[in-house]
Structure 1
Amino acid sequence: MDTLRTLAALLLALGTASAASLGVVQTEGGSVQGQNIPVGLFRSVEVFKGIPFAAKPGLFQKPQPHPGWSGILKATKFASRCLQMSALQTNTFGSEDCLYLNIWVPHGSTVSSDLPVMIWLYGGGFLVGGSMGPNFLNNYLYSGQELADRGNVIIVSVAYRVGVLGFLSAGDSSLPGNYGMWDQQAAIAWVHRNIRSFGGDPNNITLFGESAGGASVNYQILTPHNKGLIRRAISQSGVSLCPWAFKNNMNPRDVAVQKVGCPTDHTMADCLKAIDAETLTMAAPRVKQGSPDHPGVMNLLLTPVVDGDFLPDHPSKLFHNAAEVDYLLGVNNMDGHIFTSQDIPSLGHKDEDTPVEDLRRLLRAYTKEEGPVALDMTFAEYTSAWGPSPSQETIKKTAVDIGTDYLFLVPIETAVYLHATTATSGRTFSYLLSEPSMLAGPGKPYDDWVGSDHMDDLQFVFGKPFVTPKAYADKHRALSSYMMAYWTNFARTGDPNEGHSSVPATWPLLDMSTQQYLNITSDMNNDSISEKMRLPFVKLWTQDIQSLQ
């Protein structure tokens, strides 16, 4: 055993000594130096933390170029999150000076060059979030190290303003909104201009993100301001068409009048700009406990808006701007579980029955603009296969299906169709993640029928089963390796099947005749291909209900 340990230590030392390094890198703002982390024999990942891509942003202003720095910036510490409310919504944390990014560059025995680049956009409902995600014992959820090393790609995570500072809009030129979107766009442009110095290919940039980050990815390929900057895109559990990701009529007066005492006339914007950032941040509409009659996700009122600039029209009318972008997007099969369980608390309790009337109340809230006929139509469709005496499992799963369809699956499938039908050279790939929840089963909080909940995909995309192996089973490492392979192959070639990594099943290109998609689980083979994802319910929400108006 001692001999093996000595040999392992020697091999690691040899790898460390021989590991390639970029050393001091020249960027447009000045020189930066990161940290080289050995990950195996003659393999390392060079990490650059906290590089500014823009200056400290002014209140309700677009980001501006960073003035630069003298000397060498030691990029070894993550920057603060953008100013936001705490989880309990009782105070703020973070900084106004927050427009920084982080870069992971994998090396072998020689310094890397011309690597594909993947830019991560975090979720958080446009209200909270940070470029590194949750942190436990210095293990950050969004660390790009594992993905960079295994996929041989450069990973970049970027920050953007959230909440009032990122998304408050008056609907006119005095306070147009979309400041967080402009932050993301500034980061994308910075990466395009500077990533070659880090060994990246500026002509092969892939955006990827989850939830509000997935919606952000969608927005960034739809805006005309990114023409030529983005080659590919991956949206996980979120697109601009989700009902929580876009607001036609945002009312800034709730913030201006009720919270900070500004008038609602032509002086409102100037008044708001004179208030300190912490007070404005705390003025965001609170996310409240939901109910079947008032779903909690509807409290997310600060979102991107049509401003005539970043977003010149409704997102559904801008897919032509993504015609040359390869697009991979999909949904978790129970993405709505965590949200619907907040609205109908009995869903989350194994020993508590869920009344059928709660499902009807939830559908009434989702269809209130279309009226009673829409309610009857949707309720009949969702209960059509129940039979005379549905079990509690059937009722609860149907409730989760309703939430998943309305909040995630149907709008994401709509985006799949819109991209596939407007694309020229851009390819479309669709997926459904169906791995059972790790929180489901005997002795665990969830019923054993619960599938992939919202955010369940994150741990697998970022390789956590390999970073913290004792917390996962072999099947989870298999699933993680599959997702990292598909994602990084796609970033490299535009085809998730071809690239640096082998995959367990051939993922078909989507065409509108078959509408094929990949069903992602820990046990995959060429039978993992399905067609027409929940098509009756997609038609229900996008055609049947709309025809009533």
Structure 2
Amino acid sequence: MCVHHMMRRMLGILVFAALCLSKAYAGLGVVLTEGGMVEGSHQNTGLFRYVDVFKGIPFAAPPGRFQKPVRHPGWDGVLKVKDYNKRCMQVNLLQNGVVGSEDCLYLNIWVPQGRTVSTGLPVMVWIYGGGFLKGASEGANFLNNYLYDGEEIADRGNVIVVTLSYRLGTLGFVSSGDSELPGNYGLWDQQAGIAWVHRNIKAFGGDPSNITIFGESAGGTSVNFQIISPHNKGLIRRAISQSGVALCPWAINRNPRAYAVEIAKKVGCPTDANMVSCLKRTDAEALTVAGDVALQSSASNPIVHNLKLSPVIDGDFLPAEPDQLFHNAAEIDYIAGVNDMDGHLFATVDIPSINNILVSTPIGDVKKLADALTRDKGTAAGAAAYAEYTSAWGNNPSNSDIKKTVVALETDYIFLVPTQAALYLHAEKATTGRTYSYLFSEPSRNPLFPSWMGADHAEDLQFVFGKPFSTPLGYWPRHRDISGYMIAYWTNFARTGDPNKGESSVPVTWPEFTDTGHTFLELNHNTNANSVKQRLRMRYVYYWTSVYGSLPSIKS
């Protein structure tokens, strides 16, 4: 009887506790936005902690073909926003069909909650990468585990996370090079999403005056475009570009009309004065498939030169060359950095032998690659680049030395040097904005890669989004270390503009990047006082920006 009485009492305590917890998790419930009411779901993340999640809120109307986005007309009743919406239409992996929809301008929100409903939280808006051709606001999905799930960042950093979508490929970036088909529709979509967040995030507990945008690859480049465009004045407080800036060689399409003509021919449109009106009437799927990327690359035809559907200098969103627009970011705090072997992914496509320990990479391939990357400046530039990158080889370079040189050449040209140039420009033009530089060097987890591999392109994403915490069985403790460091630095920065100050402790103070010191932080699981360094690959930055940059371009 005594035991029975104790069990009943324990059960009563548990029921009472459950009721208390359910009351403690008051959360946001139904939220009123400018378009109408939305209702999401919530996820427990710990004792008296959980995250409100809203998936698939429309931030603009279904977009008109080759038109800027406009505000959503709104809806009646309560819109249930518990599932991701369709991604924007894009080519499939085989590039012979499409996935997604033209109606795709939606965003997702994660709001951390404690014992009381959150207010005044910093807001972090994520812009995905994918070469302006592919990607989605939720990211890749494996067993319902989405790459861009904002829960870990929101919960660990006590910030609101937003992920948004934007048009891609032909529908997002084709341009006739004039006002008839100006292009940059995908950038306008991003801007519309950021503006929606600015107008509505207060209802979700966010601080509209403290918005940080962050992104990787084409998303990092987009972040840079957003902060230098005059159209975002007063909307963005801070920004983080991971492996991509506006100065990257693939960030701007210099000859958009030629590619628009190419697409028109593929879909059977004329290439005369009627081209644009025909493109506007053409089936969206056919247009999307026509905007594929040529994957038949080689050392002589590197894939970086085949990324043609990208932003253009349209005289509107981008009124001038990117390097002339950094004054627009003078009051915006900015972090930019790269992965130490960011170019590996591209080098693998151009020269597949670099990953095969049984196959040597011919020295001739390095020469061909140097020539191809510098083709705008003629053969002398290719010879100079080859000499610069092979100067430490000696008479008999090892096979791994040759392979590593290929990766270094592509990393520097595609990502590292443009990022350093963007950091110089931001620091030079900044008034109140602070500048920070990093190098991410956590070795790749891919067991198929060579032993000398560092961090490949996009390998930072899993750590920023806290995958070692949400899927712990797939990682070692050291991976939770680097993930924790990155979330701490990123969310502190979003809160205060200083990655060292906020609610999260960090392993070492990360100094600002200045015109004189060029200080950067090397980020990996062993980040400590020795990780603060200066003048990242200065010899090669100098070569590309000064020596190569001063050579005259040849007429094509």
Other-structure match for 2:3: none
Aligned residues: 542
One of 493, 497, 506 as aligned partner of 1:494: 497
The whole-number CA distance in structure 2 between the counterparts of 1:140 and 1:255 is 35
Equivalent AA in structure 2 for residue 234 of structure 1: I
The whole-number CA distance in structure 2 between the counterparts of 1:50 and 1:463 is 22
SS in 1 for 2:546: helix
Other-structure match for 2:244: 238
Instruction: Flag the 1:374–1:52 CA change in 2: closer, same or farther, 3 A.
Output: same
Equivalent AA in structure 1 for residue 167 of structure 2: R
Are the counterparts in 2 of residues 29 and 68 from structure 1 also a CA contact under 8 Å? yes
Alignment of 1:368-447 (within 5 A): 368-439=375-446, 444-447=447-450
One of 360, 366, 369 as aligned partner of 1:359: 366
Q: Which runs of 4+ in 1 moved over 6 A?
A: 6-13
Please list the CA deviations of residues 3-50 of structure 1 after superposition, one character each: whole Å capped at 9, or x if unmatched: 9xx999997885454223011110000001110111111101000010
Shifted more, 473-482 versus 363-372: the winner is: 363-372
Alignment of 1:287-326 (within 5 A): 287-326=294-333
Shifted more, 246-255 versus 517-526: the winner is: 246-255
Q: Is 2:188 the counterpart of 1:187?
A: no
The Cα shift of 1:286 comes to 2.9
One of 21, 29, 37 as aligned partner of 1:23: 29
Q: Is 2:349 the counterpart of 1:342?
A: yes
Are the counterparts in 2 of residues 47 and 76 from structure 1 also a CA contact under 8 Å? yes
Instruction: Flag the 1:12–1:129 CA change in 2: closer, same or farther, 3 A.
Output: farther
Q: Is 2:540 the counterpart of 1:537?
A: yes
Are the counterparts in 2 of residues 14 and 41 from structure 1 also a CA contact under 8 Å? no
Equivalent AA in structure 1 for residue 452 of structure 2: W
Please list the CA deviations of residues 66-109 of structure 1 after superposition, one character each: whole Å capped at 9, or x if unmatched: 01000001111110000111011010110111000000000000
The whole-number CA distance in structure 1 between the counterparts of 2:526 and 2:14 is 33
The whole-number CA distance in structure 2 between the counterparts of 1:99 and 1:164 is 16
The Cα shift of 1:338 comes to 1.2
One of 463, 466, 483 as aligned partner of 2:466: 463
Shifted more, 201-210 versus 238-247: the winner is: 238-247
Equivalent AA in structure 1 for residue 543 of structure 2: L
Q: Is 2:147 the counterpart of 1:141?
A: yes
One of 72, 87, 107 as aligned partner of 1:81: 87
Are the counterparts in 2 of residues 255 and 285 from structure 1 also a CA contact under 8 Å? no
One of 223, 241, 250 as aligned partner of 1:217: 223
Shifted more, 287-296 versus 233-242: the winner is: 287-296
Are the counterparts in 2 of residues 290 and 297 from structure 1 also a CA contact under 8 Å? no
Other-structure match for 2:164: 158
The RMSD of aligned alpha carbons is: 1.7
Other-structure match for 1:513: 516
> If the length of structure 2 is used for normalisation, what is the TM-score?
0.95
Are the counterparts in 2 of residues 516 and 532 from structure 1 also a CA contact under 8 Å? yes
Other-structure match for 1:522: 525
The whole-number CA distance in structure 2 between the counterparts of 1:143 and 1:321 is 31
> If the length of structure 1 is used for normalisation, what is the TM-score?
0.96
The whole-number CA distance in structure 1 between the counterparts of 2:416 and 2:118 is 39
Please list the CA deviations of residues 228-268 of structure 1 after superposition, one character each: whole Å capped at 9, or x if unmatched: 00000000000111111111211244444421122222221
Are the counterparts in 2 of residues 295 and 365 from structure 1 also a CA contact under 8 Å? yes
Identity, % of aligned positions:
58
The whole-number CA distance in structure 2 between the counterparts of 1:247 and 1:99 is 24
Instruction: Flag the 1:72–1:426 CA change in 2: closer, same or farther, 3 A.
Output: same
Instruction: Flag the 1:34–1:253 CA change in 2: closer, same or farther, 3 A.
Output: closer
Other-structure match for 1:473: 476
Alignment of 1:166-205 (within 5 A): 166-205=172-211
